[in-house]
Amino acid sequence: MLSSARRFFIRRRYLGWTSAAGVCLLLICIIYVLSTGSWEAPKLRAVANGKYADLKKSRYENRNRHKQGPGEYGAGVFLQGEEKKNADELAKKEAFNIIASDGIALDRSLPDVRNPACKSVEYPKDLPTASVVIIFHNEAWTPLLRTAHSVVNRSPPQYLHEVILLDDASYRDRLGEELDKYVQDTWPDGVVKVVRVKERAGLIRARIAGAKAATGDVLIFLDSHCEANEGWLEPLLARIKEKTDAVLVPDIDMISSETLQYIPTGSGSVGGFWWSLHFSWRPMPKREAVRRKSEIDPVRLEPLLARIGENSSRVLVPGIDAIDSETLEYSKNGGIAVGGFTWSLHFTWSPFVPTKWELDQGFGKEWQPLRSPTMPGGLFAADRKYFFDVGAYDPGMDVWGGENLEISFRVWMCGGSLEFIPCSRVGHIFRSSHPYTFPGNKDTHGINSMRLAEVWMDEYKRLFYMHRRDLLKQDMGDISERKALRERLKCKSFSWYLENVYPEKFIIDEKVLAYGMVRNPGSNLCLDTMGKDEKTRFDIGLFHCQNGASANEVFSLSQKNELRREEACLDSVGAEGSKVSLNPCHGHKGNQEWRHHKDSGVIVHVPSGKCLDVSGLKSGDSVQLKKCNGGNDQKWTIEHYLDI
C-alpha cells in the first residue's frame, strides 16, 4: 500500500516537473519566436549571427545605392510658398530647416567628395574598432537618425563596434520610447544603443558619460546632426593604430541649415583661437604644407603585401631596423631614410626628401596628418584609453563651450598631438543659434573658458581677461582637480604651446614695439573698434578713452610696423581726409605700414606720408588721414612702449 502510494506520489511529482519544464520550454520558444520572428529555433545562434552578418553587409554594400527622392546624392531641398513659410517659421526655434530634413530619406546617398588620391590608399586590415558616441539634447528626429544611419551604413561592419546615442535628458516628443523602438527595429543586431543620463548634463558631461558607456578601442564623437561620408572611418582608425596619443578630426563639410545640401567645404584649414577663447578656422600654415610633403607616413601605413597586391610590378623593401651586434639591442631605424649610391657605386642611406616628380605624382601629399593647434570640438576620434588617461574633459564645465580649446591645449601640452585627417569627411549642419535652453541663463562659454584659462594658460590668461574683465567677479567653481591633473601628467607650459604648436598666433603684448590704448591727449579720444568683430571690415572709430577698461581700445604696433588687432590691421589707400579701415593683416607692409614717433607723437601712414588725425572729430566718429602738420590733432601716445 505504502509503496504504491509512494510510487503514485513520485509519479505525480515526476509528471508535475516534466509538464512544468515542458511549459517553460514552450514559453521560451514562443518568446524567442516572437522576438526574432524566426521558426528555426534549433539553429538559434548560428542563424541569428548569420542573419545579422548579412544585414550588416548589405547595409554597408548598399550605402551608395542611388535612390530617387529629395536630397539624394546630397542635393539641397528648395521649398516654396506655404511650405517655405512654415519652414522659415519653424527655423526660428530649430535653427535649421526641419521640413526639408523631414522630407529626405534617413539613409540618403551622398557624393564621394574625397580627394581622388584618398581612394587608392590601402589601410591595414586589422584596424582597431570604433565606438561612435553621438550626444544629443532635444535634437530633431530626422537629423539625429540620419547621423546614426550614415555611421552604420558607411562604416565597414568589422570596425564598427557600436553607435551610442547618448540622450542628454531630452524631453522632446518621440525621443523616448519611440526612439528606443525605432532603434531596436532598425538595428536588431544591437549595433546602435540608446543610453540615457538622468538629468541634463550639458554636452561636456554627456560626452564623458558616452565615453564611459563605450567599449570599443577608439572613441569617435559626433554631433547629432552629422552625416558620415564615404570612407570616413578607416583613415581615423589607421592613424590611431599608428599613434595612440593622436587626437583626430575629420575634414568637416557643411550641410546647409536651409536646404540640407551637402556642401564639400572640407579644406586644408586648421583650427586656431581668439584670445577671447572662441574657436577660429585658419588657413593651413606654410610650415605644415612644407612638412607634410616630406612625410613618409603612406609608406609606413601600406604593408608590403597590400602594395604588391595592388600592383605586381613593384619591388618593395621593408624599413630595416638595427640590431646591435654586441648587445643585440633592437632599435627602430626603419622608414627614415631611402637608398642612394655614391659615385664609387657603393650603396648609401640618404635622408628622404621627395623630388618634384614624386610630389607631382601626388606622393605624400593628400592624406598626411595635418597638425592643428585646436579643434572645433564636435567631431573627433581618440583612442579610448588615451582619452581617459589625458583627462577626458573637465566635468566642471556646463552645457556648451570652451571644452574644445581645453582638450586641444591639453592634448598638445601633455604630449599628444591633434591632427586633421583630410581623407575622412563628415558633414555637419552649422546652425546659427542653439535650439536648446541654457539652464539659469548662464554664460557657460565664458565661465568654462575661465576654468580652462586658469588651468592651462599660465600668465597668458591675462589676454583672455583683457576681453572678459566682467568674468573676474564670477564664480567658476573648484578647479583643483584639473590643476592636479596637469601636475600629474607633467604637462608643458602654455608658452611652449604657443612657441611650438601655434607660432603664428599674434601675442598682443609680446615682441611688439608698443601696445594698449592709442590716445590723442588733446581730445582724450582713443582709437576704438566700437565693439565690431574684427572678422568683418570696418572703419576704425574714435571713442572717449576707457583707461584700459575696454578691449575695444587695445591695439599693438608690431615689429613689422603694423597697427593691429589679433588678425586685422589698420589699412588705408592714403587719400586726404579718408577713413582708415581694419582689414585682415597681409604681412606685406604696403597700405598696412605705419610709423609712430614717440617724441613727436605722429602716426604716419608710410606709403602716403599722411598722418592719423582727429581734427573736427568727436567720440563716435571714424578717425581720418590728413596731410601731416605737426599739430595737436595729430599727436598720439600708446599706452605701453616695450624696449626691444
* Residue 221 C-beta: closest distance to ligand UD2, Å: 8
- Window contacting ligand UD2 (CB under 6 A); options: 268-276, 289-297, 399-407, 591-599: 399-407
* Residue 100 C-beta: closest distance to ligand UD2, Å: 18
- Window contacting ligand UD2 (CB under 6 A); options: 33-41, 77-85, 129-137, 418-426: 129-137
Among 107, 168, 217, 227, binds ligand UD2 (CB under 6 A): 168
For Mn ion, the closer CB: 403 or 633: 403
Question: Between helices 403-413 and 444-456, what is the axis angle to 10°?
Answer: 10
Q: Residues near 84 by Cβ (< 8 Å), separated by ≥ 6?
A: none
Query: How many other CB atoms are there within 10 angstroms of residue 379's CB atom?
Result: 22
Among 101, 372, 404, 624, binds ligand UD2 (CB under 6 A): 404
* Residue 437 C-beta: closest distance to ligand UD2, Å: 8
For Mn ion, the closer CB: 298 or 378: 378
Among 87, 135, 414, 463, binds ligand UD2 (CB under 6 A): 135
* Pair 285, 267: CB distance under 8 Å: no
Q: Residues near 486 by Cβ (< 8 Å), separated by ≥ 6?
A: 410, 413, 414, 455, 456
- Window contacting Mn ion (CB under 5 A); options: 75-83, 222-230, 389-397, 494-502: 222-230
* Residue 303 C-beta: closest distance to ligand UD2, Å: 34
Name the amino acid, one letter, at 277.
L
For Mn ion, the closer CB: 223 or 419: 223
What phi, psi does 621 have (nearest 5°)? -80, 175
Residues 367-386 that bind ligand UD2 (CB under 6 A): 376-379
Among 60, 400, 506, 538, binds ligand UD2 (CB under 6 A): 400
The answer to whether residue 434 forms part of the interface with ligand UD2 (CB under 6 A) is: yes
For Mn ion, the closer CB: 113 or 135: 135
| Calpha distance 386→489 (Å, rounded) | 12
The answer to whether residue 202 forms part of the interface with ligand UD2 (CB under 6 A) is: yes
Q: What angle do CA 80, 84, 88 make, to 5 degrees?
A: 155
What, of Mn ion, ligand UD2, none, does residue 400 touch, CB below 5 to 8 Å by kind?
ligand UD2
Range 320-327 contact pairs with CB under 8 angstroms and sequence separation of 24 or more: none
What, of Mn ion, ligand UD2, none, does residue 262 touch, CB below 5 to 8 Å by kind?
none
Question: Which positions from 547 to 576 touch ligand UD2 by CB under 6 A, shown as an x/- string?
Answer: ------------------------------
The answer to whether residue 223 forms part of the interface with Mn ion (CB under 5 A) is: yes
Closest to 546 measured CA to CA, from 522, 514, 517, 523: 517
What, of ligand UD2, Mn ion, none, does residue 203 touch, CB below 5 to 8 Å by kind?
ligand UD2
For ligand UD2, the closer CB: 238 or 399: 399
For ligand UD2, the closer CB: 131 or 529: 131
* Pair 237, 369: CB distance under 8 Å: no
Question: Between helices 480-488 and 444-456, what is the axis angle to 10°?
Answer: 40
User: Which residue's beta carbon is nearest to the bound Mn ion?
Assistant: 223
The answer to whether residue 94 forms part of the interface with ligand UD2 (CB under 6 A) is: no
* Residue 252 C-beta: closest distance to ligand UD2, Å: 6
| Calpha distance 414→392 (Å, rounded) | 13
- Residue spans of alpha helices (H) in 71-201: 81-94, 98-102, 116-119, 141-154, 177-186
What, of Mn ion, ligand UD2, none, does residue 96 touch, CB below 5 to 8 Å by kind?
none
Quote the distance between the C-alpha of residue 8 and its chain's center.
76
**Strand blocks (E) in 464-593:** 512-520, 525-528, 538-539, 541-544, 555-558, 563-564, 568-571, 581-584
SS3 annotation, 184-234: HHHCCCCCEEEEECCCCCHHHHHHHHHHHHCCCCEEEEECCCEEECCCCHH
The answer to whether residue 141 forms part of the interface with ligand UD2 (CB under 6 A) is: no
Among 203, 218, 260, 508, binds ligand UD2 (CB under 6 A): 203
Among 251, 288, 394, 403, binds ligand UD2 (CB under 6 A): 403
Q: Residues near 574 by Cβ (< 8 Å), separated by ≥ 6?
A: 591, 605, 607, 608, 609, 610, 625
| Calpha distance 219→624 (Å, rounded) | 55
Number of residues this chain uses to bind ligand UD2 (CB under 6 A): 23
What, of Mn ion, ligand UD2, none, does residue 594 touch, CB below 5 to 8 Å by kind?
none
Cell readout for 548 is 584700459
Residues facing 640 on adjacent strands: 515
- Window contacting ligand UD2 (CB under 6 A); options: 109-117, 354-362, 393-401, 575-583: 393-401
For ligand UD2, the closer CB: 379 or 518: 379
What, of Mn ion, ligand UD2, none, does residue 167 touch, CB below 5 to 8 Å by kind?
none
For ligand UD2, the closer CB: 365 or 428: 428
What, of ligand UD2, Mn ion, none, does residue 611 touch, CB below 5 to 8 Å by kind?
none
* Residue 401 C-beta: closest distance to Mn ion, Å: 12
* Pair 132, 210: CB distance under 8 Å: no
What, of ligand UD2, Mn ion, none, does residue 427 touch, CB below 5 to 8 Å by kind?
none
169 burial level (CB within 10 Å; 0-12, 13-18, 19+):
middle
Cell readout for 60 is 554597408
| Calpha distance 447→403 (Å, rounded) | 11
Binding site for ligand UD2 (CB under 6 A): 135-137, 139, 168, 200, 202-203, 206, 223-224, 376-379, 399-401, 403-404, 428, 434, 436
Binding site for Mn ion (CB under 5 A): 223
